[in-house]
Amino acid sequence: MDEASQILVIILSAALAVFLVLGITLMIMLIKLSNQIKKTAVSIRTTSEAVENVVTSIAKLVSPAIVVKTIKEVFDKIKPSKSTKKEKE
């Protein structure tokens, strides 16, 4: 029985050593993955902020253009242009 228990202890210690090495390797890989995810998140945040700034700038330029276009359409409806008067005659 003494030999059987020694063999069992050797097998269990070898299995423990293998799982310990696998666990350490897995933790290192998870830390690297976590760092890559953090870098990707920072990159996505910077990109989204840049896109947001561009959209805001475009919105500032487009809003007055839409207002001017709407006002022009209203004036065109109220006061027909000279070309439409000539066409009627």
Residues whose CB falls within 8 Å of the CB of residue 36, separated by 6 or more in sequence, listed in order = none
pLDDT at 86 exceeding the cut of 90: no
Domain boundaries, the chain: 2-88
Q: Residue 66 — pLDDT band, cuts 50, 70, 90?
A: confident
CA distances from 59 to 45, 63, 69 (A): 21, 6, 15
Q: Between 65 and 58, where is the model more confident?
A: 58
pLDDT at 69 exceeding the cut of 60: yes
Cα 54–Cα 60–Cα 63 angle in degrees, nearest 5: 130
pLDDT at 85 exceeding the cut of 90: no
Question: What are the DSSP calls for 17-46, one per residue?
Answer: HHHHHHHHHHHHHHHHHHHHHHHHHHHHHH
pLDDT of residue 80: 67
